[in-house]
Chain A
């Protein structure tokens, strides 16, 4: 036994040898410590290798710690209650048994600290095993609380440990996205989720206040990732999966109630949204807002301020805020003055190019589907969209043309935009004012959709076909634009590429090609030459 101990004492030796041997040694050390208290001092070896440089050593040490302390927790071999300082304990009037427990409790605390530090280790393996180990401790600690309280009246949960884990997960310097996605598995447990939400709220408030509300991109990104990985239950009956099984008073336990969950969720988000956000998180947030945040809040109307503020920002953020606003208007009776005016002003050439085009047009279609809209408004939308179509790519045109047609179909009085026979056949200038912000003043109803006429000369045949529809009265049936919303240019290309070329052979150019730069009006030859020295 002695030689083996010697070997283990020297950490350098340990690190030099193969990690497998080290692991075996650590295992045996753990066994020895658990066997008798004589070897309690060996725990320093483990803690030492926990801080070693090598990833493998650390991971095996974490495993060893995990086994050791969870067994000790289970055996209640750790000191319960207010922990006296170590020196004090040695000199104090504790029994030898208690002294040993106090000693072990101190080692346990040290180990937890090291593990919390490891949550921001460079190696993902270390991070992951540290996180797992901590969560295991948390589970054990919940079962066998270290506080000396009357547990029949209180609900035991290792709150401090949870808070520490959350604070370390949401680091200010390193991006912990991967680790957080690993953490998501623990968030499935309802009590963990509840306490994590509370912990997040506290830590966000603390950190952001300390920074006086300035933007902390990495931190906020971590917080956002953690927050968005919370999957809220939708029914009370789903709250069954707990990490710490409570013996008593389940009905009073906050973590077991859906309403409390919702409240905690809401508070967490509101505390997060209180502060200024970086724009990429802003966008990400708005993308998921309507469908994974709003439904789980106890009072969604609290988001009104946030959303209206976002809607005022303009550009892509406004587009994204539309969705949340829609939910609020539609389900929570939000009355938003000048909503349509703002929507009208959102229509810029960029709407055809942004990533959220499909979403925007889907919502715009919903907003404009009401038949109670004033005529001038519909005409203004139609005219503005048509004007914007002059800069749109073909995929956008394939959305916007049916969109305009649908508007006119819903409001047959708008037909004058397409068909305005007049007695005097005089050509008129377009009276529409593109720069006018108020749709009521833009004189769209007096105009005609010449832009669609222009698009009849568009290069893509499908667009031309769509534009040709204004030559005849529109059919009654509305077109379904949902299937063209997600159309990409490549898909559009594939339509032509995949077309079977059976009977007809492909037409060829009959002007003989002689040189690379010749042909087609010689535009290329005018500006470019083959070689640099020519």
Chain B
């Protein structure tokens, strides 16, 4: 209770001793430290010093410590002062006295009054007997009372009923005379005072209560008023912004919430204006340009800056308010209700009056629509836009219900019934498959379109924002899908339509989890390459990759950019293609087809970046070589895996030149890489011609791709001599002759002369600059240019130096002080001795004088 005031008073005391204004103002005591420069903003602590004061302080301190020690030196015994709190500066003298008294009492009590039951001790207050005090009845000093009225009750009571040490402190302020009077006064009016105090505190309490009630009433009133305004504002914003929000209903009883809303939400924000089609197109274009620039930069192999390509893409209608997640939330709700679909169908129905369209058709239409409107839209947004429309239509529905148009709703219900019946078998929610087997079970037996729908719905039901584990589930789903696609490709016949349908889903998943997707594709590629490499180690060659690997390679090109200078997925994929094109010997039509497919893929991979692949040209030359009838006296060389002559090197030579008449170009099925049904020689010849035409077309594309390379003519030299000298043009169909001509023209027209190679011009080394280097300094007084540890070290070193110097100075001062003391001692001793000697001499002199006088007397 009384501690806080006590401390305060103590602090006052200390301060008083420290700063003596009399001394401070004395010009003879003050020493002003002159500053060399005036630095703005620097706080100066030591501009004025008091040397005399500090010196005397130091001397006093030494006298108390050092001198005492010095005096105690070589002394065996020591005087110990055991008085309670004698040297405790913190203890107030009153406390000291009290404790000493208590101790004394205790001692007496223990010793004497152990068995003394009757004798009561006399209660005292400040050493005066209370009994005596009560006899006096002094009048209360009304002035005093009025003075103290404003004080807080706690303090007041403390001062009045302190009894012990606490009261004394307060009283210290008053003078000694008053103290005595006060004591008398209190003795008289204590009861009155108590009553008064109680009354006062009660009154204060009441006042406070009243105030509070008033404030509450006012706020409530304000709330109600605000509510009326607010509803207006909400209505305004609701149209432009979000359709329904949970915060819309203001909770009146929660004041805090209201305040916060006032602070943040209820500012009427300007909505984004509707964009004209031109603006939309321009935005789209800008975005594409940015992405394109990004791609080019990566192609050049420049280091990516930290701002990577953002994965979250915004639609034109996106308000950039992070609302997507909420939407997803609702999406699932809608799914569970089965409402989502209904609404979607409604929308569809509006466009397509027949209303019989199944889910397949619908989504097809959707896709078409979106493709038409914007190429950039993603599958995800597809869902979003559906949802938006759903919400709108939900609102509409409500309005309609309010307005009372039963006719339209009826028709809708009909449609709903129809369509539910149409696809009752396909549920709307799917659990994410935990294993590959799960996925297979899930997709087994559905049509390709339904498989796509299932995957899409699984993906939406397990969106990462819905639950914690969903991200991992979907990442796994990507891996399973890849595996599934591989299996589909390996079935007989390969179910490629299903693969085709699953591609958008894979793309969407890949956009969501680039890292996981890249890791999965990398794993597939690494496995494939590893097996090829092992076979090469073992046998020196390997079979061509199977259809699943080919599809993986194509997917890689679809999912990842192929033009990057270095990409963790596409660079290995290209290397893998190169490996297969150089190490897999061509032994059958299937091998030729696979090789050509790989070449197609390769051309696609480098179509944008126009990078040079020697293996591609080699392989195409080799394939053309397979069609050369006469293998003697070659004017060119073929690179492995092809051989100039030998088994299987006449694979593409036509058996009957007449068969080119009936040949018509048609695309090869992908399954031709595995099995071919060629019944007779005519079929075989047709296949040969198809391969040849594909090969020639690829050569043509390569010519176009590489025509800017300095060594273009040398690269295509074998092709040129092969086409011009060995592959007779007359025996080929018209289309091939055309291609043939185009290629030879392209190769022939390329420039053969080039500038000589020179090194890049070096930048001249700049001369040494003599202007001073200007470094902008923002934090004065701090050491710069080193790490935190170094700075800390510097700081500690500095501190140590300072301390060391200080300690040295102190020690010097100490020794000086001691020397002075010793000198004083010696001088004192000498003076004493001198005095004593003088005294002795004096006494002796007087003695002598007396004796002489006596003698003189006697003589006289």
Contacts and interface: CB of A to CB of B under 8 A. Distances in A.
A430 interface: yes
A534 interface: yes
B515 A505 contact: yes
A475 interface: no
Interface in A457-477: 457-461, 464, 470-473
Contacts of A352: 639
Mostly helix, strand, loop or mixed at chain B's interface? helix
Interface in B661-714: 667-672, 694, 697-698, 701, 709-712, 714
Interface in A392-425: 392-394, 417-422, 425
A223 B755 CA distance: 59
A505 B308 contact: yes
Interface in A126-155: none
A512 B507 contact: yes
Contacts of B730: none
B514 A506 contact: yes
Interface string B560-573: 11101111110110
B639 A349 contact: yes
A413 B467 CA distance: 70
A350 B640 contact: yes
A387 B604 contact: no
A526 interface: yes
Mostly helix, strand, loop or mixed at chain A's interface? loop
A512 B562 contact: no
Interface stretch (A48-56, A200-208, A492-500): A492-500
B569 A489 contact: no
Contacts of A350: 639-640
Contacts of A508: 309, 311, 510-511, 514, 559-561
B597 A528 contact: yes
B496 A516 contact: yes
B571 A531 contact: no
B671 A489 contact: no
Given A349-B637, A496-B568, A496-B571, A509 B504 contact: no
Given A391-B618, A392-B614, A516-B503, A461 B669 contact: no
Interface string B487-508: 0000001001101100110110
Contacts of B752: 429-430
Interface stretch (A27-35, A38-46, A446-454): A446-454
A513 interface: yes
A529 B667 contact: yes
Contacts of B572: 493, 496-497
Contacts, number: 282
Contacts of B532: 490
Contacts of A505: 308, 311, 514-515
A529 B496 CA distance: 10
Interface string A490-534: 101110110101001111111111111111110111111111101
A520 B604 contact: yes
Interface in B329-382: 367, 371, 375-379
B615 interface: yes
Contacts of B711: 390, 450-451, 453-454
A510 B709 contact: no
A429 B753 contact: yes
A523 B612 contact: no
Interface residues of B, number: 111
B742 to A, nearest CB: 15
A45 B529 CA distance: 60
Contact of A493 (B525, B611, B669, B751): B525
A459 B504 contact: no
B670 A464 contact: no
A349 B642 CA distance: 12
Contacts of B617: 391
A471 B759 contact: yes
B560 A524 contact: no
A519 B669 contact: no
B560 A507 contact: yes
A394 B756 CA distance: 25
Contacts of B147: none
Interface in B116-130: none
B709 A460 contact: no
Contacts of B569: 506
Contacts of B672: 532
B627 interface: no
Contacts of A494: 526
A334 B578 CA distance: 41
A108 B377 CA distance: 93
A458 to B, nearest CB: 5
A455 B612 contact: yes
Given A348-B637, A427-B751, A429-B753, A530 B497 contact: yes
A341 interface: no
A500 to B, nearest CB: 10
A493 B576 contact: yes
Interface in B263-304: 291, 294-295, 298, 301, 304
B757 A453 contact: yes
A396 to B, nearest CB: 9
B761 to A, nearest CB: 10
B507 A513 contact: yes
A516 B500 contact: yes
Interface stretch (B38-46, B550-558, B835-843): B550-558
Contacts of A96: none
B692 to A, nearest CB: 12
Contacts of B612: 454-455, 457-459
B518 interface: yes
B504 A523 contact: no
A513 B559 contact: yes
A147 B522 CA distance: 73
A534 to B, nearest CB: 7
B723 interface: no
Nearest to B667: A529
Listed from nearest, the 10 A-B pairs whose CB atoms lie closest are A520-B604, A532-B669, A427-B753, A459-B611, A490-B533, A513-B558, A353-B640, A454-B711, A521-B607, A513-B507
30 contacts: A391-B617, A393-B615, A417-B757, A419-B758, A420-B758, A427-B754, A427-B755, A428-B753, A429-B754, A430-B752, A434-B714, A450-B757, A453-B710, A453-B711, A454-B709, A458-B613, A472-B762, A473-B759, A489-B575, A507-B514, A507-B561, A521-B607, A524-B554, A526-B600, A527-B597, A527-B600, A528-B600, A529-B667, A530-B496, A531-B496
Given A451-B710, A531-B669, A532-B672, 15 more contacts: A391-B639, A429-B753, A434-B714, A450-B710, A457-B611, A459-B571, A496-B572, A497-B526, A505-B514, A507-B308, A512-B376, A524-B604, A527-B667, A528-B670, A534-B667
